[in-house]
């Protein structure tokens, strides 16, 4: 255990909010947004699955599995050689697509699945479709997932090449990746956008994630812009591995996390437009916590998401982020103030809960409780996120989930002061 150091005031205090203008030229953003929104998939441009093949799949839907002999997740439509269906696929195949998304969520996101497994069936399935979309986008940009688009020419596809060249000219940035890896990932993200466009057109993708997502989008009227913004955040990771200011980091956090909150509230349901502001803060809080938790892993991948100007102003060098930084006397105070900033967004995130239907509040409340617990654990470890990964064990997840579920589904409002009082002593989660 390190010597306990009192969190003193920093030389360069961290502020809670980013400026409204996030340091990117507005005209440039509009050009980039138009470029990204223009990526579409039309019926006459690609091959469609034949009606005969569709009917054969329909008849055998009960026998088509999504789990292989080695317990691996299998795309039930992988063998199809066309990116779209000849017509809207039958209900049996839609159910299979939702099952695929739910299985993916259970395997990849224990924290998240615990937070919405008690939602009504339709909402739970919709949340799994949204998570599957986000997971696959992240796996392309930051992992080794090989997404596919049947019939495409891959990296030499004329449309993909034209998109990449236009994107590079508007951003005026070089990739931080090796050329081969960069071409592979930017091309996959381009076709990922094309599949997203099917959720907002007359055609339907043969990718189970986008088949389920289209149904979700239609049921809950989720705008395309939030999904496009998330893919943009994944593209950012191909060009940026350092953030000079908090404003730059905030924009990235918005794109990869706040938009997820904005997707979720459309499924939960709300009437007060302030819910969108609080959903944005919810995403910022969770992503700031992720940034702190993953410092050690990120630095191994040559990525630093902490604002460099704040680190430097407080006497912390990037070269120290290999774990030696915990010996720097300003590191623990920096972590303390960083957590304090994150909690300014946590405070706003909690304001979202009363604006949601009672049956839905449990889901975001559980996610907030999980991440609040992680942030507190990082502080207790004096900012040592290098020697071991900070995460919740199964008992912690289940106990937090159960407590939050009890509060938001059964405890009457007049008992809130009692709950809040007990939460101050750490007996109950403060959410």
Q: Where are the alpha helices (DSSP H) in 294-384?
A: 295-300, 308-313, 331-350, 358-380
| pLDDT over 70 (residue 427) | no
- Give the model's pLDDT for residue 395: 84
What does the pLDDT look like over 211-221, one tens digit per residue? 999 999 999 99
- Give the model's pLDDT for residue 62: 79
| pLDDT over 90 (residue 4) | no
- Give the model's pLDDT for residue 23: 41
| pLDDT over 50 (residue 397) | yes
| pLDDT over 50 (residue 1) | no
Higher pLDDT, residue 32 or 139: 139
Q: CA of 116: how far to CAs of 119, 281, 289, 311, in Å?
A: 5, 19, 20, 37
The predicted model gives 14-43 an average pLDDT of 70
Percent of the chain at pLDDT exceeding 90: 67
| pLDDT over 60 (residue 428) | yes
- Give the model's pLDDT for residue 379: 94
Q: How far apart are CA 244 and CA 257, in angstroms?
A: 19
CB 429 within 8 A of CB 423: yes
- Give the model's pLDDT for residue 357: 94
Residue ranges per domain, the chain?
A: 36-239, 241-384
| pLDDT over 80 (residue 298) | yes
- Give the model's pLDDT for residue 388: 83
Q: What is the pTM of this model?
A: 0.91
pLDDT-based confidence at residue 236 (cuts at 50, 70, 90): very high
Least confident of 4-8, 356-360, 367-371: 4-8
The predicted model gives 102-124 an average pLDDT of 87
Q: How far apart are CA 248 and CA 17, in angstroms?
A: 12
| pLDDT over 70 (residue 196) | yes
Q: How far apart are CA 390 and CA 293, in angstroms?
A: 6
pLDDT-based confidence at residue 15 (cuts at 50, 70, 90): low
Higher pLDDT, residue 139 or 33: 139
| pLDDT over 90 (residue 269) | yes
| pLDDT over 90 (residue 353) | yes
| pLDDT over 80 (residue 246) | yes
CB 76 within 8 A of CB 100: yes
- Give the model's pLDDT for residue 74: 93
Q: Radius of gyration over alpha carbons of the chain, in Å?
A: 22
| pLDDT over 60 (residue 8) | no
pLDDT-based confidence at residue 27 (cuts at 50, 70, 90): very low
Q: At what angle do helices 208-220 and 91-108 cross, to 10 degrees?
A: 100
The predicted model gives 377-405 an average pLDDT of 86
Q: How far apart are CA 280 and CA 135, in angstroms?
A: 19
pLDDT-based confidence at residue 12 (cuts at 50, 70, 90): low
Which residues are 49's β-sheet partners? 85
Q: How far apart are CA 320 and CA 188, in angstroms?
A: 35
CA atoms within 13 A on the CB side of 80: 24
Most confidently modeled range among 32-46, 122-136, 383-397:
122-136
Q: What is the mean pLDDT of the chain?
A: 89
pLDDT-based confidence at residue 398 (cuts at 50, 70, 90): confident
What architecture (CATH level 2) is domain 241-384?
Orthogonal Bundle (1.10)
| pLDDT over 90 (residue 5) | no
Helix, coil or strand: residue 85: strand
Q: What is the number of other CB atoms lying within 10 angstroms of the CB of residue 242?
A: 14
Least confident of 138-147, 282-291, 292-301, 409-418: 409-418
- Give the model's pLDDT for residue 292: 96
């Amino acid at each position: 255990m390190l010597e306990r150091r009192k969190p003193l005031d920093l030389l360069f205090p961290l502020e809670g909010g980013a400026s409204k203008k996030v340091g990117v030229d507005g005209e440039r953003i509009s050009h980039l947004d138009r470029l990204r929104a223009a990526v579409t998939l039309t019926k006459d441009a690609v091959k469609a699955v034949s009606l005969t093949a569709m009917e054969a799949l329909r008849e055998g839907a009960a026998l088509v599995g999504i789990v292989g002999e080695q317990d691996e997740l299998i795309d039930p439509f992988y063998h199809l050689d066309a990116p779209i269906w000849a017509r809207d696929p039958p209900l049996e195949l839609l159910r299979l697509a939702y099952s695929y998304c739910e299985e993916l969520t259970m395997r990849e996101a224990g924290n998240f699945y615990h937070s919405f497994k008690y939602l009504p069936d339709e909402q739970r399935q919709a949340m799994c479709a949204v998570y599957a979309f986000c997971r696959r986008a992240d796996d392309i940009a930051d992992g080794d997932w090989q997404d596919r688009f049947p019939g495409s020419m891959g990296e030499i596809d004329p449309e993909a090449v034209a998109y990449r060249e236009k994107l590079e000219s508007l951003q005026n940035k070089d990739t931080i990746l090796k050329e081969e890896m960069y071409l592979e990932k930017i091309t996959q993200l381009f076709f990922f956008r094309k599949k997203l466009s099917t959720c907002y057109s007359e055609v339907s993708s043969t990718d189970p994630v986008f088949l389920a997502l289209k149904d979700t989008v239609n049921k809950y009227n989720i705008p395309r812009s939030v999904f496009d913004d998330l893919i943009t955040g994944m593209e950012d990771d191909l060009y940026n591995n350092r953030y000079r200011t908090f404003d730059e980091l905030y924009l990235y956090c918005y794109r990869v996390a706040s938009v997820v909150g904005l997707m979720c509230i459309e499924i939960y349901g709300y009437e007060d437009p302030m819910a969108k502001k609080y959903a944005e803060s919810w995403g910022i809080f969770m992503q700031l916590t992720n940034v702190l938790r993953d410092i050690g892993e990120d630095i191994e991948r040559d990525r630093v998401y902490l604002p460099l100007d704040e680190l430097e102003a407080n006497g912390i060098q990037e070269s120290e982020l290999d774990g030696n930084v915990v010996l720097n006397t300003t590191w623990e105070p920096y972590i303390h103030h960083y957590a304090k900033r994150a909690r300014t967004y946590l405070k706003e995130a909690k304001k979202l809960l009363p604006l949601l239907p009672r049956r839905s509040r449990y889901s975001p409340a559980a996610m907030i409780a999980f991440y609040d617990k992680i942030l507190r654990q990082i502080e207790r470890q004096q900012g040592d996120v290098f020697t071991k990964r900070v995460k919740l064990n199964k008992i912690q997840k289940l106990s937090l989930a159960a407590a939050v579920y009890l509060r938001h589904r059964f405890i009457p409002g007049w008992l809130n002061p009692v709950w809040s009082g007990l939460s101050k002593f750490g007996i109950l989660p403060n959410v």
